[in-house]
Structure 1
Amino acid sequence: MGKSIALFGLLIILLGLVVFQYSITSVPDLESPLTVSDARYLEADHSVLMSVSGADGNRFTVGMRGDLVEKPEEAALFYISHPEVIPYVHWPAVRSNDERRVLRLLTNWVGNHSEPVSEAVFAPESLGTLAPEVRAWLVGHQIYLALKQRN
């Protein structure tokens, strides 16, 4: 009887851990309109990232690490589903369902936002000198193009 109770308790704990892991690695459904609160380039690891907020106030941080100009197909996607709960960075596999979900989210964002400056060109080293809305559009659009190209 004691072993059965211990086994049942272990199964409950494992089920809780699986649910927790799924909740921190899933791509959230953000309500439209989506807004970008932050977009930046991190020179140390050649990453671009942006924080997207939905109308419901939920946040989602997404980015890519690697050379998005020369080799976008090799850049690795990463995201943080619930940065306010636990800052866990998830690195989904290339061409995975998670990448497709992020692509759908960015497709929704790109479809609702027009290009702020027609002559703006993605150059990671000069992102810091641009206006925040131009920087947000360039980073988001570059991530979107890289994901669209390989999915």
Structure 2
Amino acid sequence: MFKSLALAALIAVLLAFLGFQYYITSVPELVEPIAVEDARFIEQDNSLIVTFQGSAGHRFTFGLRGDVTNEPEQTALFFIRNPDLVPYVYWPGFRSNDEKRVLELLEYWSESHLPADQLESFRQAEPDELMPDRLGGEAAAYRIYQVLEARN
């Protein structure tokens, strides 16, 4: 009887850890409308970071680390699903399903939240122009979208 209870408790704990791991490494579904809360380029780490916020107040921080301008295909994607609850940085693999989910979120955001004229100007802009200090956070998010789209 004791072994059965111990085994059941162990299985419950393992399932809880599995659920928690899935939660912190999955791309969230943000409630409409999705806005760019913050965007920045950190020269020290060569990181381009963008934070989306849904209307329910949930945030999703993602970015690229590496030379975004000269070697974008070698930049590494990272994201933090819920930085307030668990500040865990997840680094999905190149061309992984998680990277494709971030790409799908960015594609949906760019098509549904950017005005047509702004989207066209981003498409025509040079890659080094799409930085938060030059054109704002929307441009930085679109630059990350361009890098992921070219890679996938």
Q: Same fold (TM over 0.5)?
A: yes
| Structure-2 residue corresponding to 1:27 | 27
Q: Identity of paired residues, percent?
A: 44
- Unaligned segments of structure 1, at least 5 residues: none
User: Are 2:112 and 1:136 equivalent residues in the alignment?
Assistant: no
Q: More displaced, 110-119 or 139-148?
A: 110-119
Query: CA 1:66–1:24 in 2, change beyond 3 Å: closer, same or farther?
Result: same
| One-letter amino acid of the structure 2 residue matched with residue 67 of structure 1 | D
Q: More displaced, 110-119 or 86-95?
A: 110-119
| Structure-2 residue corresponding to 1:107 | 107
Alpha-carbon distance in 1 for matches of 2:106, 2:8: 42
Residues 28-43 of structure 1 mapped to structure 2, 5 A cutoff: 28-43=28-43
Asked whether the 8 Å contact 1:116–1:137 carries over to 2, the reply is no
User: Are 2:152 and 1:148 equivalent residues in the alignment?
Assistant: no
TM-score (norm 1): 0.87
1:4-44 Cα shifts (integer Å, max 9, x gaps): 21111111111100001101111001122210010001111
Size of the alignment, in residue pairs? 146
Alpha-carbon distance in 2 for matches of 1:117, 1:48: 21
Q: Post-superposition, which runs of at least 4 consecutive aligned residues in structure 1 deviate over 3 A?
A: 116-124
| One-letter amino acid of the structure 2 residue matched with residue 2 of structure 1 | F
| One-letter amino acid of the structure 2 residue matched with residue 53 of structure 1 | Q
| Structure-2 residue corresponding to 1:123 | 128
**Aligned residues: CA RMSD:** 2.0
| Structure-2 residue corresponding to 1:11 | 11
Q: Cα offset for 1:59?
A: 0.8
Q: Cα offset for 1:117?
A: 9.8
Alpha-carbon distance in 1 for matches of 2:59, 2:127: 24
Q: Cα offset for 1:93?
A: 0.8
Asked whether the 8 Å contact 1:121–1:138 carries over to 2, the reply is no
TM-score (norm 2): 0.87
Alpha-carbon distance in 1 for matches of 2:148, 2:10: 39
Asked whether the 8 Å contact 1:32–1:54 carries over to 2, the reply is yes
